Amino acid sequence: MDFKLTEEQELIKKTARKFAIEHLEPGVIERDDLAKTPYEQIKMMGELGFLGMMVPEEWNGAGMDAVSYVVAMEEISRIDASAGVIMSVNNSLVCQIFLDWANDAQRQKYLTKLATGEYIGAFSLSEPQSGSDASNMHTFAEKDGDSYILNGTKNWITNGLTSDVLMVMVPTTKGIGYKGISCFIIESGIPGFSRGAKENKLGIRGSETCEIYFDNCRVPAENMVNEAGQGFRIAMKTLNGGRIGIAAQALGIAQAALEKSVAYAKERKQFGKTIGTFGAIQSKIAIMATNIEASRLLTLHAAQLKDEHKSYAKEAAMAKQFASQTAVDAARECVQIHGGYGYMQEYGVERLMRDAKITQIYEGTSEIQEVVIARSIMEE
């Protein structure tokens, strides 16, 4: 296995890092405090090709590979994990469904705009009663001539408030479990579609999350992706790739925690010495760095398998499970190293701790990743 980045991937890393430092770092603490989304910066990310990274150029994308996507996601999330998740959902959930499952007319109409950031996409699977048990849906889409009438509620929708297009999983046949779920492309703003209030979250406060309501919402049958009954498989297969993106997001948060810890340990003096000379601090930094290296290798490995069109569900789950734990641990230790200052908002360290937690929850909790890993191993 060779994880050396190509010249092009190095360039993407440099570009993403420069963009994040110049355009995302200013105001990141304030945006978190006020729960403000970096709209302007997201638009710029679209112009740079960061919102449709793996979409071929013929559909207006950047035509890059999954390794490049991981590298860029890490850099963006290292500075602003909220921008990271907006980017991740648009790329690896929404654009990816168009690439893998939609027809050319659907790609022409929507993907060409999603790939440039002209449209922002959202992915809608969860419902109030179904998070990990994702197929236990109460929403329903009733066929009526050449349309479907949707009713019900979806929740925890990242990009929900500003999305132009949503990929929504809804049952079209009752009583046959996941085999009755279908996937629809839904344009926000159509009659019967509405959004709830912005959720007030612990972390990633610069990304918007809300509920989505369907009240006799009529959607043309041509907006179904692939065939009726394929929705759950589409969601599961797509989430495998999404989990690589979240692993990269976690990696970015952990890397930020490490860098801030090292800088502070070299500068802060106690008992007449810089705290980095104390074994207790060195041990924290060593464990952080080791786990980050392991997370990066797992994440790049999953991305490489995806690029090689090999199966990667288990590896993506391993990457997400490990990198998210690493992010949570690294951010917590970073606050500890900073002591009282770490607990203060202005140091930008407590935010890492709050942002890290979600990586163990969304796109499948750590416990669900363990289910995916164990099932895969037992089937081998």
Q: What are the residue numbers of the active site?
A: 363
Give one word for 27, left, alpha or beta, with left for phi > 0 and alpha for psi -120 to 50: left
Residues contacting 204, CB < 8 A, separation 6+ = 81, 82, 85, 355, 358
Residue 169, interface with ligand CAA (CB under 6 A)?
Answer: no
Rounded CA separation 57/59 (Å): 5
Size of the site for ligand CAA (CB under 6 A): 23
DSSP tag of 127: B
Among 52, 171, 206, 364, interactor with ligand CAA by CB under 6 A: 364
Chain centroid to CA 86: how far? 7
Residue 237, interface with ligand CAA (CB under 6 A)?
Answer: yes
Q: Report, in Å, the least distance between residue 343 CB and ligand CAA.
A: 28
Q: Report, in Å, the least distance between residue 32 CB and ligand CAA.
A: 18
Name the nearest CA neighbour of 166 among 122, 116, 224: 122
Write out the E strands in the chain: 121-124, 140-144, 147-158, 165-171, 181-187, 193-195, 209-220, 224-225, 269-270, 273-274
Q: Applying CB under 6 A, which part among 20-28, 40-48, 123-131, 279-287 lies near ligand CAA?
A: 123-131
Q: Which two tokens stand for residue 352?
A: 């890492």
Residue 236, interface with ligand CAA (CB under 6 A)?
Answer: yes
Residue 95, interface with ligand CAA (CB under 6 A)?
Answer: no
Among 123, 148, 184, 264, interactor with ligand CAA by CB under 6 A: 123
Q: What value, to the nearest 5°, has the Cα angle with vertex 139 and ends 133 and 140? A: 125
Q: Report, in Å, the least distance between residue 51 CB and ligand CAA.
A: 15
Which is closer to ligand CAA, CB of 15 or CB of 135? 135
Name the nearest CA neighbour of 364 among 159, 123, 131: 131
Rounded CA separation 73/252 (Å): 7
Which is closer to ligand CAA, CB of 129 or CB of 290? 129
Among 13, 48, 108, 135, interactor with ligand CAA by CB under 6 A: 135
Residue 158, interface with ligand CAA (CB under 6 A)?
Answer: yes
Name the nearest CA neighbour of 353 among 156, 174, 202: 202
The packing angle between helices 81-88 and 231-267, to 10°, is 160
Among 45, 247, 334, 368, interactor with ligand CAA by CB under 6 A: 368
Residue 198, interface with ligand CAA (CB under 6 A)?
Answer: no
Residue 86, interface with ligand CAA (CB under 6 A)?
Answer: no
Residues contacting 279, CB < 8 A, separation 6+ = none
Chain positions 276 to 335 lying near ligand CAA, rule: CB under 6 A, are: 313
Q: Report, in Å, the least distance between residue 342 CB and ligand CAA.
A: 27
* Contact criterion met (CB below 8 Å) for 29 and 351: yes
Name the nearest CA neighbour of 274 among 284, 264, 261: 264
Which is closer to ligand CAA, CB of 79 or CB of 125? 125
Q: Report, in Å, the least distance between residue 238 CB and ligand CAA.
A: 9
Among 24, 64, 86, 125, interactor with ligand CAA by CB under 6 A: 125
Among 37, 106, 155, 240, interactor with ligand CAA by CB under 6 A: 240
Residue 9, interface with ligand CAA (CB under 6 A)?
Answer: no
Residue 48, interface with ligand CAA (CB under 6 A)?
Answer: no
Site residues (vs ligand CAA, CB under 6 A): 85, 89, 123, 125-126, 132, 134-135, 158, 178, 232-233, 236-237, 239-240, 313, 362-364, 368, 371-372
